[in-house]
Amino acid sequence: MRVQHRMLAVAAALAVTVAACGNGEEVEEVEDVNGVEDTDAAPDEDAEERSLSVWIMQPGSDEVENIITDSVAAFEDEHAGVSVDLQFVPWDAAHDQFVTAIGGGQVPDVAEMGNTWTPEFAEMGGLAAIEGEIDGDYIDAIVDSGLVEGEAYGYPWYAGARAFIYRQDVFDDLGLEVPDTWEELLEVGEVIEAETDLDPINVAGNYVHMLAPMVWHAGGQLAVESDGQWTAAVDSPEGRAAFEMYAELFERGWSPQGAITWSSVDVREAFANEDAAMMIGGGWDLAAAIGNNPELEDKVATALLPAGPGGNQDAFAGGSHFVQFAESDEHELGREFIEFMLQDEQVSTFADAVGFLPGTVSGVEASSAAGDPLYDTFATQIIDHSASYPSTGAWGAIEGNQVFVNAIQQVMQGDLTVDEAVAQVDEQMNEAFGQ
């Protein structure tokens, strides 16, 4: 049975990006899931009673919650006298809740944290640095996203990268080859436009994870770091090439005018509705599209992202870290819990259920996705062709203030030239970097 069938039960939850920032709303009450007991285990009356507080992001699926609570129960079984106070925190409330917890000195011992948040809370002084080397063959980009001044603050839990998704049946009918470069993408798109009623490929004004990596594809960087100070680098020939390509995909009329305000979810829905022949998305997007339109299953295929003029094909490596908090009194026990949750059996079961991949190379290679013709591309993309955004606490503000979104939307609307847009991006990024 293909991996997508196991993923469809939670596909609706996957519209939430793992690196989403808090929205400033009132913090919601967390869901307390204590009370998981193993009635077959014999209590050790001599064991020291200890409690570990753990926050996990709300997965939006009973199936996934049960996987986590079962893992917690197994950990308690192996650690006599230990009880885990497990709470599920809604993603849209999590950022503010972390801020409040750190400010009030009421932190959990261990938490799941979106990997673009980790530097922010590390720089705030709220997280404990990992002592020594992180054991395991973790995916480099996920490790890098949790580094601050050379110190690691996040243990990679799960990861995901976007790839190129296309209608194999359409390509076969038209005798088209999969595009390996931007130039080939435009050529293929022209044929699809001329020969079918489909949009060749949709872009969206609110799709940072499609736009920003294109700066890498062109051979550029989003920002550079020197002596602890980050400086924006989008206002460059490579950055301009990325914005120009994105704008051209829209200006060719390959997306509806309303796509100026679209997000990745809208792109996915258009593909699921068979309105477009190509899209950029994650394995979770593909699973959701097939869930909405099962007939797509035998019509689609995947490939690595088309390379830009720089020859780069990297996707943003999104995912979650396990983190420990500086004010926790249970650092040793917390590390034992994290190591338990990162065991191959635990992490593989969880990652499969949420539609992502394990945070280790060996875990990805052993996953069901790696053995599936349709989903193996996402495994290759995350291992060999992924990168992290600048590992700085300022990145959360850059995303939260929609620096890239505002700029590209103004280009799509005709209110800014590409030169003006990339200059605006750099100015706002440098302001966030404290320059």
Task: Say what the pLDDT of residue 240 is.
Answer: 98
CA-wise closest residue to 392 among 156, 153, 162, 161: 153
**Token pair in block for residue 9:** 């039960």
Ordered structural domains, the chain, with CATH: 8-160+317-378 (3.40.190.10), 163-315+401-432 (3.40.190.10)
Amino acid at 28: E
Helix axes 331-341, 344-354, angle to 10 degrees: 70
Q: Is 267 helix (H, G, I), strand (E, B) or coil?
A: helix
Burial degree of 83 (CB within 10 A; 0-12, 13-18, 19+)? middle
Predicted local confidence at residue 38, as pLDDT: 43
3-state secondary structure 178-190: CCCEHHHHHHHHH
The helix (H) or strand (E) run that includes residue 230 is: strand 229-232
Determine the pLDDT at residue 37.
41
Q: What are φ and ψ of residue 131, in 5° steps?
A: -80, 130
> Following CA atoms 214, 264, 116, 212 in sequence, which dihedral angle do they give, to the nearest 10 degrees?
10
Model pLDDT, residue 357: 94
Please report the pLDDT score of residue 244 as a whole number.
Answer: 98
CB-CB neighbours of 209 under 10 Å:
20
**pLDDT 10s digit of each residue in the chain, 435 long?**
334 433 433 343 333 333 333 333 333 334 444 444 443 444 455 557 899 999 999 987 899 999 999 999 999 999 999 999 999 999 989 999 999 999 999 999 999 999 999 999 999 999 999 987 776 789 999 999 999 988 999 999 999 999 999 999 999 999 999 999 999 999 999 999 999 999 999 999 999 999 999 999 999 999 999 988 999 999 999 999 999 999 999 999 999 999 999 999 999 999 999 999 999 999 999 999 999 999 999 999 999 999 999 999 999 999 999 999 999 999 999 999 999 999 888 888 888 888 899 999 989 998 888 889 999 999 999 999 999 999 999 998 999 999 999 999 999 999 999 999 999 999 999 999 999
Please give the single-letter amino acid code of residue 211: L
pLDDT at site 46: 57
**Measured between alpha carbons, how far is 105 from 208 in angstroms, rounded to an integer?**
34
Tell me, what's the pLDDT at 1?
31
Global pTM reads 0.86
What integer pLDDT is reported at residue 133 of this predicted model?
75
Position 93 scores a pLDDT of 92
Judge residue 420's burial from the number of C-beta atoms within 10 Å of its C-beta, 0-12 exposed, 13-18 middle, 19 or more buried.
middle
pLDDT score for 47: 58
Q: How far is residue 316's CA from residue 302's CA, in Å, rounded to a whole number?
A: 17
Q: CA 378, 383, 389: angle at the middle one, nearest 5? A: 95
